[in-house]
Amino acid sequence: MLKGVMASGMGAALGSSFVPSVLGSIGNISGVTSKARRVVFFLQNNGFHTAACIPKGMKGSGSLSEATLPESIKPLEPYLDKMHIINGLHGLHTSPTHSAYFGALGGYPGGELRVPIAKTIDYTLSKLLPQTILPHLRIGMGDLSSMERQPTVAALSASAAGKPLYMHCNPNHLYQTLFGSIADGDVKKRYEAKSRIFEAVESVAAKGKSGLHENDLALYESYVDGFSDINDLRGKLSSYSEQLKKHQPEYTEKYLSPQYETDWHDALLDIGISSLKSGLTNTLTIASGRGDVWGSWEGLGIETTGHFLGHMGQEGNPIWHKIRNYNCRMLVKLMKSLESVPEGDGTMMDNTLIVYTSNNADKQHTDGSTWPFILLGNCGGQFKTGEFTQFSGSGKRPINALYATILHAIGAPCDRYNMSETTAHKYDSGIGPIEELLV
């Protein structure tokens, strides 16, 4: 019964994979800084090719003020003054091939069927940023059958070695979990029914561990802890109804009767945006392709699926233009939504950093020698914007250095992120944050 209900998508993962083991109280708790900060990671599968990110005619670092962006990321052109394009960081040590999986956000060797060997930067940030009810929300966008058949999947985020964190791929399950307490009609009925089941199962399960072998006991207790976390989250959300109602996404037919997978992609994005605006979370991870090589975009008129897309050239390819344009429109919607909410002397977007990249460096079957990124926003004035930075030759640095730079920006400086001195000696020409990116 435990496995069956957890597989339904509500619990998603063992133990505290859905909710951190220590939940913050309602509202913000002072973390590294009391200032409002939030970070969003958006990763596209099958690589982010340099030709799809480098402004036309630019050979080296410079201003973006009069830049012309490649066709693939053209929708971002109105935001030149709010972006920083980075080319030349590497992930040689992550062994990406089809995907670096946990290594993409961890900065360590990854690969298919490999468990994480350390925490990832998104989880690290979720523990350092001002705490919220749900410190870290993770959503994955794939094809409809995969999202229905496997509503949760772990491929990108981890809380520690051997502890993957699951992303949520079915918007109906996620909507019911986060907004069911304030919903109407069938959504509210299902929420209340499952709440009663979860409470009963937690009570029964807590008494049912006698007689289990030691090897089974740890697994069993992790399921019990998962139900405890879910019930705890539900109680906190019920007490947070005013903020939830203010930013509650509309529950439309695209949830229950999606024509294409992009209907669910759009719904998941709406939930992610609402979670940020309502203050439910300060760290959001979005995976287009669910951190793997697969995925489909039939809603864009594309019949080719994920793996085969990876064998196509990106820039100059109308198929990839459609996919990346779609992603960029999502980023624009996210930015505009945060710009619409006042915060301090500005808006929520003024205190946000969006990191757009791929879980697979520049292309499929890559060695990770170059790994492009686009930063949107400046995280409260910490990052330079309106610039293109090119790293090359002896000055090249790993993706770990960017993650150390983000930690520096939120007030948690470190010399290296997930990189030993031995590994750094081989793969990193510097130490500490990337100064060229900071104000």
What is the rounded distance in angstroms from the CA atom of residue 43 to the CA atom of residue 264?
17
Q: CB-based contacts of 49: which residues, under 8 Å, 6+ apart?
A: 313, 314, 315, 362, 363, 372
Nearest alpha carbon to residue 157 among 165, 145, 147 = 165
User: What confidence score (pLDDT) does residue 227 get?
Assistant: 64
| Domains in the chain: boundaries | 17-172+258-437
Q: How far apart are CA 48 and CA 182, in angstroms?
A: 39
Which pLDDT score, from 0 to 100, does residue 411 have?
96
- Given this model, what pLDDT does residue 313 score? 87
pLDDT for the residue numbered 128: 97
* Range 422-427, long-range pairs (CB < 8 A, 24+ positions): 423/93, 426/93, 427/90, 427/92, 427/93, 427/398
pLDDT in tens, 396-413: 899 999 999 999 999 999
Residue 226's pLDDT is 63
Which residues of the chain fall short of a pLDDT of 50?
1, 4-31
pLDDT at position 217 is 72
- The residues with which 163 forms a beta bridge, in sequence order, are 160
Query: What's the confidence (pLDDT) of residue 81?
Result: 98
Q: Helices 261-277 and 171-179 sit at what angle, rounded to 10 degrees?
A: 20
Q: What pLDDT, on the 0 to 100 scale, is given for residue 248?
A: 94
**Which CATH topology does 17-172+258-437 take?**
Alkaline Phosphatase, subunit A (3.40.720)
pLDDT digits (tens, 9 = 90+) for 379-394: 999 999 999 999 987 6
Q: Tell me the pLDDT tens digit for each residue of 418-428.
A: 999 999 999 99
